[in-house]
Amino acid sequence: MTDKKIPIIIDTDPGIDDAVAIGVALFHKKLDVKLLSTIAGNVSVEKTTNNALKLVEFFDKDIPVAKGANKPLCIPYEDSSHIHGESGMGGYEFPEPKKVIHPEHAVNAIRETIMNNEEKVTLVPIGPLTNIALFLTLYPECKSRIERIVLMGGSASAGNHTPTAEYNIFADPEAAKIVFASGLDITMVGLDVTSKATLTPDNVETIRDLNETGRMMYSMFQHYRGGSLKTGLKMHDLCAIAYIVNPELFKTQVCFVDVETSGTYTAGTTIVDLKNRYHREPNATVCLDIDVDAFRAWAVEQLANTR
Ligand SMILES: [Ca+2]
């Protein structure tokens, strides 16, 4: 293992669990966050972009924030402020950010970042996949500069937004289909692990007393509806960061994955062919299980390393 940091771009729709993932990534000694690109998802892209700016200012990091797509490729936009509050990051009063948005659209900013970086860059989408699909479609020549994609989304079992579909994939199924068909090295960190990756009430109390970040997270956790404060808060997006730096926490399987883009009930469902029923070439590494206790200990330790 070298001491070299892994260059990553986080494509995000903050979002309370996004905020945790971003905080951990910005302070992780193995990660070099080159860009935050934003996407409509949990709330509108105006709000997610403003939230991303607030977060980099809160963490006092000089990371560019580029604003991306305001709606999915083909279907209408639908927000989920019922999960994350009206602003997307309800529960904590951040000052209005002074930092300005990157002048380029996220898709062009991703290209610029990737092409200007000496090493290949890892893409970490933790929202709907619209920006990534647009980027891969507009600039296929950049694919060779991508190390891999580690995304939060999908499920090999049940969904969370509909009985079968996970939210990020449901929000833009066509984009997800493009990403899974891209031929790139893809890891799907989906509900099979992220629903188990909760912070317990004890963890949440510990986090509150860690530092400024802990107090900020604690305030937002009071408003987060991804799980509950009593039964555990689901840290969906943080799992993608955990996978990059601590893959040994996860059990995975390489298999064929595709996305249902229409269907009476199934739009946005990931078809994860664990038993090779379709005899198709495998195109993704799918996370199927996680060492939950180790994840919790890791998450608290990481948050202790923030400001
Ligand atoms: Ca997210």
How far is the centre of ligand 1, averaged over its atoms, from the C-alpha of 237 (Å)?
Answer: 6
How far is the centre of ligand 1, averaged over its atoms, from the C-alpha of 189 (Å)?
Answer: 12
How far is the centre of ligand 1, averaged over its atoms, from the C-alpha of 183 (Å)?
Answer: 23
Instruction: Determine the pLDDT at residue 2.
Output: 58
Give the 3-state secondary structure of 20-47.
Answer: HHHHHHHHCCCEEEEEEEECCCCCCHHH
By the CB criterion, residues less than 5 angstroms from ion ligand 1 are 13, 15, 18, 126-127, 237
Catalytic residues: 236
| Of residues 75, 289, 253, 255, the one with CA closest to residue 165 | 75
How far is the centre of ligand 1, averaged over its atoms, from the C-alpha of 205 (Å)?
Answer: 23
CB-based contacts of 290, cutoff 8 Å, min separation 6:
193, 196, 197, 239, 249, 250, 251
Instruction: Determine the pLDDT at residue 225.
Output: 83
Whether the Cβ atoms of residue 214 and residue 305 lie closer than 8 Å to each other: no
pLDDT along the chain (307 residues), means of 10: 86 96 98 98 94 98 98 90 82 95 98 98 98 98 98 98 97 98 98 98 97 96 87 96 98 98 96 98 98 98 96
Question: Can you name the CATH fold of 6-304?
Answer: Inosine-uridine Nucleoside N-ribohydrolase; Chain A (3.90.245)
How far is the centre of ligand 1, averaged over its atoms, from the C-alpha of 279 (Å)?
Answer: 32
Which sequence spans correspond to the domains of the chain? Answer: 6-304
Please give the model's pTM, rounded to 2 decimal places.
Answer: 0.97
How far is the centre of ligand 1, averaged over its atoms, from the C-alpha of 286 (Å)?
Answer: 18
